[in-house]
Structure 1
């Protein structure tokens, strides 16, 4: 029998940080971009988990610093990366917190990405469904249950 999915409405606010040993694979621009069994999940109310991967999980040279910054009230100032494979580029498709707030210090320098921009992201061989809405980086699998922020079927959460 399959385990009961986590209900994202039960995730905390402010968000929680949880270490994970799940097998993560990411493909982008026709190539394997990242693979690891070491990640962190950020769990926030009404959001599917956002995964942060160690920089060494990424193919060398695939992450190129990009301009721009954004601010998260929980994690601090984010900076962005373009994802580059050969002569192809996904602009600002990944981000990091170089100096996150104290509760998120373990993810300093770790990388999150937008699953919707990738060829595919997998958790333990299950293909991830990207969180709806271009602003979000959540990873939806059978292990989580919505409704999810950004889903147009739930305008109260947008």
Structure 2
């Protein structure tokens, strides 16, 4: 199902250190298997920043798409924005609106808080619950973790993930891995090898404030080590992968590790 709805939040776009779009009338386009995309009224985009390109593509449901270079001063971003120019009546709400390529811009902000990864999805929810179930993690015969106080994280579209306090883990078995990944809902994740099992565990050392309850706890991949919950062995469920990149999204860690990615400035 394809649908649009009002974001109902002020959203701003910064490029070349300057604000180029500022709107309280943003629409979010939801498409199957994609992150939501923010569409701004052309009237809320700074005049002169969009330069039409000769490139045109065709969207399966939304028709012909015109592409723009975004230009401010000496800085240009080819294919930095697009507009659907031949919309059917069922998609008329998107007429006169433009979307910006997420990673081509400096940043997006809701009010003065930076939004990273992709436009906010009101339907993506995370709930965190304390549990007293018995969770044991093993690498072969070696016990890696044993706890009766795991924390379970429920996230839209994903299987429950079980997090363990470090006091209940044999941390000598956790071998830190260089490099991190980024979740727009939880923050930067660090990984650990366990024995010969690559990236068998992960942790959010400083999870976003909204999910701070799992900060510095450790979760384990049930397809790489043995994870038992009340003696029942867990298995990796299908459909757990996320497409990390696209013109409308970017989940590279450098988006939040680069200098200057703090709060907005007037």
* Shared fold per TM-score greater than 0.5: yes
Change in CA separation of 1:32 and 1:143 when aligned onto 2, cut-off 3 Å: farther
Change in CA separation of 1:148 and 1:122 when aligned onto 2, cut-off 3 Å: farther
Higher relative contact order (CA closer than 8 Å, sequence separation 6+) = 1
Q: Which of 6, 9, 12 is residue 25 of structure 1 equivalent to? A: 12
**1:115 to 2:95 alignment:** no
Q: Partners in 2 of 1:16 and 1:32 — Cα distance?
A: 28
Q: Which of 72, 81, 93 is residue 85 of structure 1 equivalent to? A: 72
Q: Unaligned regions of 5+ residues in structure 1, if any?
A: 1-12, 131-137, 153-158
Q: Partners in 1 of 2:106 and 2:121 — Cα distance?
A: 16
Q: Partners in 2 of 1:122 and 1:28 — Cα distance?
A: 12
Change in CA separation of 1:116 and 1:141 when aligned onto 2, cut-off 3 Å: farther
Is the 2:10–2:22 Cα contact (8 Å) retained in structure 1? yes
Q: Which of 136, 150, 155 is residue 243 of structure 2 equivalent to? A: 150
Alignment partner, residue 129 of structure 1: 116
Flag the structure with larger Rg: 2
Cα-Cα RMSD: 2.2
Deviations 1:33-85 (A, max 9, x none): 11010011111223221010001111111111111111111111100111110
Q: TM-score, normalised by structure 1?
A: 0.74
Q: TM-score, normalised by structure 2?
A: 0.45
Q: Secondary structure at the match of 1:105?
A: helix
Q: Partners in 1 of 2:58 and 2:90 — Cα distance?
A: 15
Deviation at 1:102, TM superposition (A): 1.9
Q: Partners in 2 of 1:139 and 1:70 — Cα distance?
A: 23
Is the 2:63–2:85 Cα contact (8 Å) retained in structure 1? no
Aligned residues: 132
Q: Secondary structure at the match of 2:43?
A: helix
**1:139 to 2:119 alignment:** yes
Deviation at 1:112, TM superposition (A): 0.4
Change in CA separation of 1:90 and 1:123 when aligned onto 2, cut-off 3 Å: same
**1:45 to 2:32 alignment:** yes
Q: Partners in 2 of 1:148 and 1:125 — Cα distance?
A: 31
Change in CA separation of 1:110 and 1:57 when aligned onto 2, cut-off 3 Å: same
**1:56 to 2:43 alignment:** yes
Deviation at 1:101, TM superposition (A): 2.0
